[in-house]
Amino acid sequence: MRISLVFKLWDHIQKALNSPWSNIRSICYGLICSMLKIDISDYNEHFLQKIKRLVLPLLVDLLSSRESESKAGGLNILGSF
């Protein structure tokens, strides 16, 4: 159920991450971290591939950003796994 919610909300969160306001982006990073605190051994390969397809591009963007806040958000999200 939790992963289904992640998939349903992902597009909305992605849009909010484009906000010029850093506090909104910070909330999104925290939300993503909370949503991705999962035990990956509980999920089949199909779900894991879908998660990778959604999250990896975001992580690459965040970790390669010049903004320290974005890098920190990316590291936090990575740590959620």
Number of other CB atoms surrounding residue 41 within 10 Å = 6
Q: What's the pLDDT at 57?
A: 93
pLDDT digits (tens, 9 = 90+) for 48-74: 888 888 889 999 999 999 988 889 999
- Three-state DSSP at 43 gives coil
Q: What's the pLDDT at 60?
A: 93
Q: What's the pLDDT at 64?
A: 94
Q: Say if residues 70 and 19 touch (Cβ distance below 8 Å).
A: no
In terms of C-beta density within 10 A (0-12 exposed, 13-18 middle, 19 or more buried), how is residue 62 classed?
buried
Residue 80 has pLDDT above 90, yes or no: no
Domain locations along the chain: 2-80
What is the radius of gyration, based on Cα positions, of the chain?
12
pTM: 0.76
